[in-house]
Structure 1
C-alpha cells in the first residue's frame, strides 16, 4: 500500500499561538484542537514568542513544509471517493458490507490549512523599548506576503486568519512598569487598527480560501455581555480612560496574553471552522487516516 502520513494543521503566530499549547487555568487550546482532530490531522504549533510579521517572513520558507514531504491537509473541496470495508454499527465487531465513502483527508487530494495570528508585537508603539513595532501599512503588506508566499501557494491552503486580540492598558502598564519601562508599550486604540487591517485583508482574500477568525471582536463581545450595565463605549473598553476592567483581567494574564478563559473564547471561534464535514459522517466510517482496529483484526493486517 502507499505510505500514509497524517496531514497537518499548522498554527503559526507569535506568543499567543506558542502559549496556546500551555495549560492555563485548566484549559489548553491546542489540546482541545488535537482532541477535535484525533486520527485525522496532526496539529503542529509553530508559535514564535516575540516575533512580528517581518521576523516571520525572514524564516517563512522554513515553516511551511514542501508538499512532497508533508501535506498540511484539511478541508478538501473535491474529496476522493473510494471503496472501503466498514463495520455497519459501532456495537459490531464484524465487517459486513462495502460502502463508497467520502474521505476528505485522503493524501492525494488534501488541501492545507494553516492558522495565522500575528499582530500583537507589530502593534507595539513606535519608538518603544521593545523594538518590535511594524508600521501599519508594512504590517498589511507583510500579512499579504505571508498569504501569497510561494511555500503557501505550493500547498494551496485554506487559511484561518486571526485578528490580534485586544489589550487591557491598566493591567499591561503594571507589567511594563515591572519590566522597567517608563511608558506603555501598547495602546488599545493602536492595536485595534491592526485588528481592523486583518479584517480588511480577510475580506480582500475571501475568494482565495481565507477565512476570518475575529478574536478581537469575540473577546470584546464577551466583555460587553459580562458587564451590560457599563456605559463605556465598546471601543474604549481596555483603555486607561475607561478604568480597570475585571472581565478583561479574567481574559488576559498580563493585559496582553490570553488566560485560560481567553483561550476558551479563541477555541469557540476556531472550532466551527475545523472539521465541518465530520458531523456528517456515519459513526462506523470516520475519516481517519488509519482504519479502526476491528478492520485490522478482520483483515489480519493492513
Structure 2
C-alpha cells in the first residue's frame, strides 16, 4: 500500500547514537523520538561505534542511496552526530583510525550537510558532549597514555566547529557540550580543568557519562530535549504535532465501509 510508506528520520552518528536504543532506568533516546513521531515518521538508527567524521562522510551517500525514494522527498530529518572519536588524542596506532583534526572535521561536516540539503533533507548537527577525562583513562585501559586521551577544551573546539558549520548553512544545531555544562552548573574553566590527570574539586561527571564517554539515560534525556527544541525552532513544519498521522482515528472508522475510511486523504495521495 503506497499510503503506508512512512517518511523517515535518520539518526546518524557514532556509538552514542548506536547505543541510544539500549539505555534503561526509564528513558531511552531513540524510542523517545519514535514515540513522539509514532504513526508519522519512521526513526532509523544508523549509529556506528568508533567511527569518526572521515568514515561518516564516506558512509552517508550509501545510507541515503539505500533510504531515499526516487523523488528524494521521503527522508525528512537527519541528525549528524560525530566528534567524540575525532577529538581523541591517544598516543597509539589505533588513534590513527579515530582521530581527525578539527579543520578536517569541519570540512567533513560541511560536505555531509551539503549532501543532505541537496537531497531535500533537514539536517541537525549535534556537537560532541563533555567527558569525564579521569574515567576516560580508566575506560581505555588497553590504550595507556601519559596525557589526557581527550580534554573538555578540545571537545569544545569541535563543538564550536560544528556550530560554525550549522550557522554557515543556516541549519539546526544542538550544543550538547553547553547543555551538559549548564545542567551541571559548571563554568567552562572548571570543565577545562577536569583533565583526568589530577584531582578535580568539583566532583564527578558520572551521572552524565558513566564510563567517561558514553551517555547515561539522564544525558540522553537532556540531548532529546535539546534536539526536539532545535527541530521546533529551525524546522517548525516538522514539529511532531504538525505532521498528520497515518490512517484515520479508530473511532472514525465506518464498520460498514472500511475501505473508504481507513485511509486519510493524505495517505491515499502518497
TM-score of Structure 1 vs Structure 2, range by shorter chain: 0.7 to 0.9
Partner-residue secondary structure (3-state), 2:43 = strand
**Aligned in 2, Cα 1:72/1:46: closer, same or farther, shift over 3 Å?**
farther
Residue 200 of structure 1, CA deviation = 1.1
Q: What's the TM-score once normalised by structure 1's chain length?
A: 0.74
Residues 236-286 of structure 1: CA deviation (Å, up to 9, x unaligned): 2533356165451110021111111111111111123446566866xxxx7
Residues 190-246 of structure 1: CA deviation (Å, up to 9, x unaligned): 22211110111111111xxx1111111100111116xxxxx8834525333561654
Q: 2-side partners of 1:280 and 1:271: how far apart?
A: 12
Q: 1-side partners of 2:46 and 2:174: how far apart?
A: 18
The number of residues matched between the two structures is 249
Partner-residue secondary structure (3-state), 1:148 = helix
Q: Note the 1:172-251 alignment, pairs <5 A.
A: 172-176=136-140, 178-183=141-146, 184-206=148-170, 210-224=171-185, 233-236=189-192, 238-240=194-196, 243=200, 246-251=203-208
Q: Note the 1:53-202 alignment, pairs <5 A.
A: 53-64=53-64, 65-68=67-70, 71-73=73-75, 112-125=76-89, 127-128=91-92, 129-131=94-96, 132-149=98-115, 152-176=116-140, 178-183=141-146, 184-202=148-166
Q: 1-side partners of 2:51 and 2:201: how far apart?
A: 28
**Aligned in 2, Cα 1:181/1:196: closer, same or farther, shift over 3 Å?**
same
Q: 1-side partners of 2:241 and 2:28: how far apart?
A: 26
Q: 1-side partners of 2:240 and 2:99: how far apart?
A: 42
Residues 59-85 of structure 1: CA deviation (Å, up to 9, x unaligned): 222112233287544xxxxxxxxxxxx
2:258 aligned residue:
300
Q: 2-side partners of 1:69 and 1:292: how far apart?
A: 29
Q: 2-side partners of 1:137 and 1:232: how far apart?
A: 22
1:267 aligned residue:
224
Contact 2:174/2:230, CA 8 A, preserved across alignment:
no
Q: What's the TM-score once normalised by structure 2's chain length?
A: 0.82
2:44 aligned residue:
44
**Aligned in 2, Cα 1:189/1:34: closer, same or farther, shift over 3 Å?**
same
- Structure 2 unaligned runs (5+)? 263-270
Contact 1:220/1:234, CA 8 A, preserved across alignment:
no
Q: 1-side partners of 2:160 and 2:208: how far apart?
A: 21
Residue 44 of structure 1, CA deviation = 0.3
Q: 2-side partners of 1:247 and 1:37: how far apart?
A: 35
Measured on the aligned residues, the alpha-carbon RMSD in Å equals 2.6
Instruction: Give 1 or 2: higher helix fraction.
Output: 2
